Structure 1
Amino acid sequence: MKDRAAKADITAAVLLDEDTLVLFGAIDQPLPADGVVLLDGTVEGRFTGGCWTDGEGEGWFLGAIQVDGLVHMRPSRIEILDADGKRLALPRLSNVRTNPAHLVTALKGNQPDALAAALDFACTLMPPNAAGETAPSDRRLRLLAGLAQEASRPDGFVEVLGRFRDGALMVQGWSRGFPCGERPVVVETEGLRLHACAAAAFHRADLPGDASGLLAVLDGSVAAPAAIRRIHYRAADGWRHLALFEQRTILGDGVATAHARDMLGGLQDDAARRAVTRAFARYNGVETVSRLDAPVRIGLDMALRVPGAGLFVCGWLLDPAGLVRAVTLKGPGLCARLDGEWTRSARRDVSDAFAGDPLFAGRLLPGRDAHGFTAFAAEPAGLPAAAEFHLELTLEEGVAFLPLPCQPPSSDALRRMLGAVNPDSPSIERIVATHLGPMLRAAGAAPRDPAAATLHPMGRTVKAPRVSVILPVTDGREDIDLNLARLANDPDFAEAELLVAAGGGAHERLAGMVRQAAAFYRLSVGFVAAPAAGDPFEAIAAALPHARAERVLLLSPSVLPTERGWLSALERAVRKPVAGNVATLPMEPVMVSPTLLYEDHSIRFAGIVAVAGPDGAVTYERRFAGYPRDWLKERDPAAVDAAAADCALLPRELLARALAGGGRYLGAGPKGLDLSLRVRAAGGACLWLPGVRLVAVDEKTPEDHDPRWRRMSALVDRWSFAENWPAAVVAA
Structure 2
Amino acid sequence: MKDRSTKADVTAAVLLDEDTLMLFGAIDQPLPADSVVMLDGMIDGRFRGGCWTDAAGERWFLGAIRVTGLAHMRPSRIEIEDAQGKHLLLPRLSNVRTNPAHLVAALREVQPQSLDTALDVAVTLLSGPAMGEGEAGEGHRRTRLLSGLAHEASRPDGFAEVLGRFHDGALMVQGWSHGFPAGAAHVLVEADDLRTHASAAGSFHRPDLPDDAAGLLTVLEGPVASPDTIRRIHFRAADGWRHLAIFEHRQLLADGVASAHARDMLGHLQGDAARRGVAAAIAARYNGVETVSQLQAPVRMGLDMAVRVPGAGLFVCGWLLDPTGSVRAVTVKGGGMSARLDQDWSRLGRKDVSDAFAHDPLFAGRLAPGSDAHGFTAFAREPAGISADAEFHLELALADGIAFLPLPCQPPTGDALRRMLGAVNPDSPSIDRVVATHLGPMLRTATSFQAVPSSVLHPMGRTQKSPRVSVILPVCDGREDVDLNLARMANDPDFAEAEILVVAGAGTHERLAGMVRQAAGFYRLAVGFVAAPTASDPFEAVAASLPHARADRVLLLSPSVLPTERGWLSALERAIRKPNAVGSAALAPVMVSPTLLYEDHSVRFAGIVAVEGPGGTVTYERRYAGYPRDWLKEQEASAVDAASADCALLPRELLARAMADGGRYLAQEPKGLDLCLRVRAAGGSCLWLPKVRLVAVDEQARHARDPRLERMSALVDEWSFAERWKASIAA
Q: Does 1:113 align with 2:113?
A: yes
In structure 2, how many angstroms separate the alpha carbons of the residues matched to 1:58 and 1:714? 68
Contact 1:128 1:196 in 2 (8 A): no
In structure 1, how many angstroms separate the alpha carbons of the residues matched to 2:359 and 2:133? 45
In structure 1, how many angstroms separate the alpha carbons of the residues matched to 2:435 and 2:309? 15
Q: Does 1:422 align with 2:422?
A: no
Distance 1:10 1:544, change over 3 A: closer
In structure 1, how many angstroms separate the alpha carbons of the residues matched to 2:535 and 2:358? 47
Letter in 2 for 1:326: A
Decide which moves more: 650-659 or 357-366: 650-659
1:326 aligned partner: 329
1:353 aligned partner: 356
Q: Does 1:440 align with 2:462?
A: no
Distance 1:102 1:375, change over 3 A: same
1:149 aligned partner: 151
Q: Does 1:314 align with 2:346?
A: no
In structure 2, how many angstroms separate the alpha carbons of the residues matched to 1:68 and 1:331? 32
1:66 aligned partner: 66
1:605, CA displacement in angstroms?
A: 0.9
1:387 aligned partner: 390
2:603 aligned partner: 603
In structure 1, how many angstroms separate the alpha carbons of the residues matched to 2:246 and 2:552? 72
In structure 1, how many angstroms separate the alpha carbons of the residues matched to 2:391 and 2:153? 40
2:718 aligned partner: 718
In structure 2, how many angstroms separate the alpha carbons of the residues matched to 1:600 and 1:273? 83
Distance 1:247 1:412, change over 3 A: closer
1:588, CA displacement in angstroms?
A: 6.4
- Percent identity between matched residues is 75
2:625 aligned partner: 625
2:560 aligned partner: 558
1:301, CA displacement in angstroms?
A: 0.9
Where 1:719 maps in the other structure, the secondary structure is helix
2:689 aligned partner: 689
1:381, CA displacement in angstroms?
A: 4.2
Letter in 2 for 1:15: L
In structure 2, how many angstroms separate the alpha carbons of the residues matched to 1:121 and 1:239? 12
Contact 2:18 2:68 in 1 (8 A): yes
- Residues 574-653 of structure 1 correspond to what in structure 2 (within 5 A)? 574-577=576-579, 579=581, 582-586=582-586, 589-653=589-653
Q: Does 1:397 align with 2:404?
A: no
1:303 aligned partner: 306
1:213, CA displacement in angstroms?
A: 2.3
Distance 1:502 1:184, change over 3 A: same
Where 2:235 maps in the other structure, the secondary structure is strand
Provide Cα deviations, 1:579-633, integer angstroms capped at 9, x if missing partner: 5xx1343366321111112223222111111223332332211112222211112
In structure 1, how many angstroms separate the alpha carbons of the residues matched to 2:494 and 2:702? 34
Contact 1:703 1:710 in 2 (8 A): no
Distance 1:710 1:149, change over 3 A: same
Provide Cα deviations, 1:247-272, integer angstroms capped at 9, x if missing partner: 43333333222111111123233332
1:343 aligned partner: 346
Where 2:698 maps in the other structure, the secondary structure is coil
Distance 1:209 1:423, change over 3 A: same
Contact 1:454 1:530 in 2 (8 A): no
Contact 2:579 2:590 in 1 (8 A): no
2:548 aligned partner: 546
Letter in 2 for 1:379: E
Contact 1:128 1:193 in 2 (8 A): no
Contact 2:140 2:193 in 1 (8 A): no
Give the alignment's TM-score, normalised by structure 1: 0.93
Letter in 1 for 2:179: G
1:304, CA displacement in angstroms?
A: 1.5
2:489 aligned partner: 487
Contact 2:256 2:288 in 1 (8 A): no
Decide which moves more: 541-550 or 682-691: 541-550
1:25 aligned partner: 25
Letter in 1 for 2:227: P
Decide which moves more: 64-73 or 441-450: 441-450
Contact 2:133 2:139 in 1 (8 A): no
Contact 1:462 1:497 in 2 (8 A): yes
1:673 aligned partner: 673
1:217, CA displacement in angstroms?
A: 0.7
Provide Cα deviations, 1:42-96, integer angstroms capped at 9, x if missing partner: 1332222233333333333332222222112211111121222122222222222
In structure 1, how many angstroms separate the alpha carbons of the residues matched to 2:459 and 2:103? 75
2:37 aligned partner: 37
1:57 aligned partner: 57
In structure 1, how many angstroms separate the alpha carbons of the residues matched to 2:231 and 2:583? 75
1:317, CA displacement in angstroms?
A: 1.4
In structure 1, how many angstroms separate the alpha carbons of the residues matched to 2:26 and 2:328? 48
Distance 1:21 1:448, change over 3 A: closer
Decide which moves more: 424-433 or 593-602: 424-433
Match of 2:511 among 502, 509, 513: 509
In structure 1, how many angstroms separate the alpha carbons of the residues matched to 2:475 and 2:247? 70
Give the alignment's TM-score, normalised by structure 2: 0.93
Decide which moves more: 54-63 or 68-77: 54-63
Distance 1:394 1:90, change over 3 A: same
In structure 2, how many angstroms separate the alpha carbons of the residues matched to 1:27 and 1:604? 78
Contact 2:299 2:322 in 1 (8 A): yes
Where 2:513 maps in the other structure, the secondary structure is helix
Where 1:713 maps in the other structure, the secondary structure is helix
1:450, CA displacement in angstroms?
A: 4.8
Contact 2:23 2:64 in 1 (8 A): yes
Distance 1:472 1:608, change over 3 A: same
Q: Which ranges in structure 2 are unaligned for 5 or more consecutive residues?
A: none
In structure 2, how many angstroms separate the alpha carbons of the residues matched to 1:621 and 1:677? 13
Match of 2:372 among 351, 369, 374: 369
In structure 1, how many angstroms separate the alpha carbons of the residues matched to 2:576 and 2:373? 60
Contact 1:611 1:620 in 2 (8 A): yes
- Residues 191-340 of structure 1 correspond to what in structure 2 (within 5 A)? 191-281=193-283, 282-340=285-343
Distance 1:71 1:517, change over 3 A: same
Letter in 1 for 2:271: D
Decide which moves more: 201-210 or 553-562: 201-210
Contact 1:300 1:316 in 2 (8 A): yes
In structure 1, how many angstroms separate the alpha carbons of the residues matched to 2:491 and 2:76? 84
Contact 2:177 2:244 in 1 (8 A): yes
Letter in 1 for 2:563: P
Decide which moves more: 582-591 or 72-81: 582-591
Where 1:642 maps in the other structure, the secondary structure is coil
Contact 1:575 1:588 in 2 (8 A): no
Distance 1:171 1:549, change over 3 A: closer
Distance 1:522 1:198, change over 3 A: same
Letter in 2 for 1:483: N
Q: Does 1:16 align with 2:16?
A: yes
1:343, CA displacement in angstroms?
A: 2.2
Contact 1:472 1:539 in 2 (8 A): yes
Q: Does 1:526 align with 2:534?
A: no
Contact 1:127 1:133 in 2 (8 A): no
In structure 2, how many angstroms separate the alpha carbons of the residues matched to 1:25 and 1:721? 54
* Segments ≥4 residues shifted beyond 6 Å: 132-136
Where 1:26 maps in the other structure, the secondary structure is strand
RMSD across aligned positions (CA): 2.6
In structure 2, how many angstroms separate the alpha carbons of the residues matched to 1:539 and 1:164? 46
Contact 1:468 1:497 in 2 (8 A): yes
Q: Which ranges in structure 1 are unaligned for 5 or more consecutive residues?
A: none
In structure 2, how many angstroms separate the alpha carbons of the residues matched to 1:350 and 1:437? 30
Where 1:655 maps in the other structure, the secondary structure is helix
Distance 1:157 1:515, change over 3 A: closer
1:215, CA displacement in angstroms?
A: 0.9
In structure 1, how many angstroms separate the alpha carbons of the residues matched to 2:338 and 2:607? 50
